[in-house]
Amino acid sequence: MAAPETSTAAVPTLYTNNALRNAFGGVLAFFILLLIGVMAFSIRLFSVIKYESVIHEFDPYFNYRVTQFLAKNGIYEFWNWFDDRTWYPLGRVIGGTVYPGLTLTAGTIWWLLNSLNIPLSVETVCVFTAPIFSAFASWATYLLTKEVKGTGAGLTAAALLAMVPSYISRSVAGSYDNEAVAIFALIFTFYLYIKTLNTGSLFYATLNSIAYFYMVCSWGGYTFIINLIPMHVLLCIVTGRFSSRLYIAYAPLVVLGTLLAALVPVVGFNAVMTSEHFASFLVFIILHVVAFVYYIKGILTPKMFKVAVTLVVSVGLALCCAVIAVLIALVASSPTKGWSGRSLSLLDPTYASKYIPIIASVSEHQPPTWPSYFMDINVLAFLVPAGIIACFSPLSDASSFVVLYIATSVYFSGVMVRLMLVFAPAACITSGIALSQAFDVFTRSIKFQLPGISSNTEVDAAETSSAPAEAQNGAVKTEKSEETSKNRPSKKSKKKEKEEKPLTKAKAEKKRLLALPLDSSVISLLLLILLGAFYVVHCVWAAAEAYSAPSIVLTSRSHDGLHVFDDFREAYAWLRHNTDVDDKVASWWDYGYQTTAMANRTVIVDNNTWNNTHIATVGTAMSSPEKAAWEIFHSLDVKYVLVVFGGLVGYPSDDINKFLWMVRIGGGVFPHIKEPDYLRDGQYRIDSQATPTMLNCLMYKLSYYRFVETDGKGFDRVRQTEIGKKYFKLTHFEEVFTTHHWMVRIYKLKPPKNRIRGKTKKSKSKTSSTSSRAKRSGTGKKNPWH
């Protein structure tokens, strides 16, 4: 990985032909990388140590279930898998609608381990896939940054990436999601692109297509690659940097990459038909035109060339206009302009909230707040500008790519919190460059400024290890470094150029080249280390406290020790063991994946939000009064309804807090559900001021059924208020299970009433409580089949 020759670039050696020293640097770099990998892996184990080895959150449960299926039934069954446990009664074709990269990766690891007779369970493999791949991602970052700015920057960037909180949030042990492998694939694809660009080797170009294929397999975010690389190619052409290397880097990627991408069932013909891929083909054509022009220029005399240009331009323009007009007409004919909803909401951040409430309802699709930048990339935010400036001195093909990468990803991260994940590697790379350059300057100044020990070997040793040491410390930076490196670049580059020649001569000359005084560079160095320490502390805190909770088991610390809330699994285990295998469970879509994976029961909707109408049906049922809801659920063959209720223990992300989204999504399809009916003067409330529609809807009733009997008042600890309607009976549902802390409540639909009885019974003028009781017992007798 760290081949000996790599160390020459970043660590300016005093003795250029000292092979032994280069070898030492290589070995050191290798061990630093190894340690970075270990750190990247181990910082993500807080969740296992603090909680347990378990799959986290929602989507990972689906991936886990798919992996289980793959491990059990093999790859062919997997491609043909039609899942009838979800989206009842529609079902879902899993093999054709899932990005298979993560599943296949974990499945392969599991298969490999088992064929070596290492009996790890599928779950264990899934839990640890993300930490393993984050170690790979930090190594890929090293490679990429090394191609851009040398080994020192590479090591620093790798160390920064290994613990950047934004990436940790998606790759802690147990967070078994597509992003876990996709970020590695993303960085590695970029590395291979830069590598091809630097070497012009077809070998790397082919590897690049394969890496791109892996990325396509893994994550929908591959469209970022297939748009960013064309943009960079275009940038290179426009700035007059066209070369045969650029051609080799790009043309095979488009041809091979598109062919390979079309092999992935979920992408298929989208790889050539949707607007997301359009830019790559356009740039492909432009690249060929440019290459052709350069070729013609080479074989014609300048005079002939001018003639040819006028000829071609006049004919070519006409043709191009015609082609582009046809394309535009085609694209415009589709309602979304050929873009998928998610891509469109990236280009127009207000799109989703206007037209697709489902996408807007997901918290990770919201735009981030400023504190979340500080939380997720911490001091990197200040180092990024310095890094960008460092990229411009000197500007190469590779460094221009980094600049473009960071510029685009900053925009995307500003639109969606989730895409902070794409931004984090770019931030790490630029910050790594900035830090490494700053360290370079400071350590060199110190070294030249100390005349007494300049001949000592200690200085050499210290210098060799400077970049690595900082890398090992994790990260290093201050606002100061930002300033210093901002002020410095011109001087530094000059100095660097000068250094090359005179270094080997005399020490006396070196002293004259120094730009920084000794004390200021020492202080800056200390400040940089301090900044790095701050970053490390923040990252460890974020990994340990903020991002390691698995969200299916909650803990709270009170004066009498740690309290565990394991209600979700209690409910899922109950469903798994005490209901019929074919029973259908309705819940809001957030819990769909978990129910199918943990309870092994059929659900109506799940987190793969592909059918808006179906979700709206469930939303409508939840927002309707009991009888209407019963009818909707009964028509869907639902037997149990599951609601999440946090009012007893103060768990804020419960169904009552999500309820407005159910109303909105339901109302989007079924207009009789109107959001204002649930709001009192535009305010969402559940206390005595709440609207009657709100107090009679199914969600309210299922959440607060008999809640008042717990404390006598019905005080909701999430909403910090007493509930509006305290005593009521359920007529069409019966409580069959409530977990220990009331966080999950499961109700069963009562069987349909006997029709004849319903007609003859006219004495409904009793109070509702007695009549409901009578009805219940009546159905029990009359309906022996239930």
Partner 1 sequence: MEAPIRAREILGFTLLFLLFFVCSSSPSHNLLISDAERRIDLTSHIVKVYLTLKVENADSTPTSEILLAFPPNHVDHLATVEALVTKGKRKKTTLARLDVKPTELPDAPNGTKYFTIYLANPLNSGESTTLEVLYLFTHSLEPFPAEIGQSESQLVYYRDSALILSPYHIKQQTTFIKTPSTKVESFTRVEPTNRAGTEMKYGPYEERPPYSFSPILIHFENNSPFPVVEELVREVEISHWGNLQVTEQYTLVHGGARHKGVFSRVDYQSRPSLNGASSLRYLLARLPPRVHSVYYRDEIGNISSSHLRTDSRKSELEIEPRYPLFGGWKATFVIGYGLPLQDFLFESSDDRRYLNFTFGCPLLDTVVDKLTVKVVLPEGSKDPSAVVPFPVEQHLETKYSYLDVVGRTVVVIEKKNLVPVHNSPFQVYYTFKPIFMLAEPLMLASAFFLFFVACVAYLHTDLSIRK
Q: Which residues bind partner 1 (CB under 8 A)?
A: 52, 54, 116-119, 552-553, 564, 566, 569-570, 572-574, 576-578, 598, 706, 709-710, 734-740, 742
CB of 579 to partner 1, least distance (A): 10
Q: Kindly state the DSSP code that residue 240 receives in the 8-state scheme.
A: T
Decide whether 117 or 314 has the Cβ nearer to partner 1: 117
Question: Is 282 or 708 the residue whose CB approaches partner 1 more closely?
Answer: 708
Classify burial at 515, counting beta carbons within 10 Å of its beta carbon; exposed 0-12, middle 13-18, buried 19 or more.
middle
Nearer to partner 1, 674 or 740 (CB): 740
> Could you tell me if 703 and 647 are in contact, meaning their C-beta atoms sit under 8 angstroms apart?
yes
Q: To the nearest whole angstrom, how small is the minimum distance from the Cβ of residue 36 to partner 1?
A: 21
Q: HSE of 770 in the Cβ direction (CA atoms, 13 Å)?
A: 5
Give the burial string for 200-238 (b: 16+ CB within 10 Å, else e). Answer: beeebbebbbebbbbbbbbbbbbbbbbbbbbbbbbebbe
Judged by CB, which is closer to partner 1: 569, or 685?
Answer: 569
Considering the complex, what minimum distance in angstroms separates the CB of residue 115 from partner 1?
10
> What is the closest distance, in whole angstroms, from the C-beta atom of residue 146 to partner 1 in the complex?
20
Question: Of the two residues 249 and 598, which places its CB atom closer to partner 1 in the complex?
Answer: 598
Between 19-42 and 466-473, two packed helices, what is the crossing angle to 10 degrees? Answer: 0
Q: Rounded distance, CA 130 to CA 319, Å?
A: 50
Min CB(768)–partner 1 separation in Å: 18
Residues contacting 593, CB < 8 A, separation 6+: 58, 59, 61, 62, 65, 606, 607, 608
User: Which C-beta is closer to partner 1: that of 151 or that of 595?
Assistant: 595
Please report how close the Cβ of residue 769 comes to partner 1 at its closest, in angstroms: 15
Q: Which CB, 19 or 299, lies closer to partner 1?
A: 19
| Residue keyed to tokens 């309820």 | 659
Q: Is the CB of 491 or the CB of 563 nearer to partner 1?
A: 563
Which candidate, 621, 641, 622, 642, places its Cα nearest to that of 568? 642
The answer to whether the peptide bond before residue 451 is cis (omega within 30 degrees of 0) is no
37, 158 in Cβ contact below 8 A?
Answer: no
Residues 663, 673 contacting (CB under 8 angstroms) = yes
Name the DSSP class of 241. -
Can you tell me the distance from the alpha carbon of 551 to that of 29, in angstroms, rounded to the nearest whole number? 38
CB-neighbour burial class of residue 333 (10 A; exposed 0-12, middle 13-18, buried 19+): exposed
Strand partners, 79: none
Please tell me the distance from the alpha carbon of residue 262 to that of residue 256, in angstroms, as a whole number.
Answer: 10
User: Least distance to partner 1 from the beta carbon of 48, Å?
Assistant: 11
What is the nearest approach in angstroms of partner 1 to the Cβ of residue 20? Answer: 16
Nearer to partner 1 among residue 487 and residue 578 (C-beta): 578
The answer to whether 246 and 236 are in contact (CB under 8 A) is yes
For partner 1, the closer CB: 545 or 709: 709
**Residue at token pair 């790599």:** 6
Tally of CB atoms within 10 A around 105: 22
> Could you tell me the two tokens for 263?
């092999």
Give 79 or 737: the residue with its C-beta nearer to partner 1.
Answer: 737
Which lies closer to partner 1 via its Cβ, residue 113 or residue 308? 113
CB of 714 to partner 1, least distance (A): 12
Cis before 89? omega within 30: yes
Min dist CB 747 to partner 1, Å, is 10
Residues in the chain: 786
Closest residue by Cα to residue 579 from 631, 638, 629: 638
DSSP E strands in 88-200: the ranges are 92-93
Closest distance of CB 621 from partner 1, Å: 21
Q: Which is nearer to partner 1, 509 or 735 (CB)?
A: 735
Residue 14, SS3 per DSSP:
coil
Please, what is the minimum distance in Å from the beta carbon of residue 548 to partner 1?
A: 15
User: Could you give the C-alpha distances from 574 to 15, 253, 719, 739, in angstroms and in order?
Assistant: 71, 51, 28, 9
Among residues 244 and 710, whose Cβ is nearest to partner 1? 710
Q: Which amino acid is at 785?
A: W
Nearer to partner 1, 123 or 460 (CB): 123
* Residue whose CB is less far from partner 1, 529 or 554: 554
**Nearest-approach distance from CB 723 to partner 1, in angstroms:** 14
Rg (CA), the chain: 31
**Residue with smaller CB distance to partner 1, 452 or 561:** 561
Q: Which of 44, 101, 96 is nearest to 67 (CA)?
A: 101
What residue has token string 């350059």? 437
CB of 429 within 8 A of CB of 526? no
Residues 6+ apart with CB under 8 A from 598: 61, 568, 569, 572, 573, 576
* Alpha-carbon gap, residue 420 to 74, rounded angstroms: 35
Q: Give me the torsion for CA of 203, 207, 212, 213, rounded to 10°.
A: 120
Question: Which residue has 């046809």 as its token pair?
Answer: 326
Asked whether the beta carbons of 611 and 618 are under 8 A apart, the reply is no
**Closest distance between partner 1 and the C-beta of residue 780, in Å?**
8
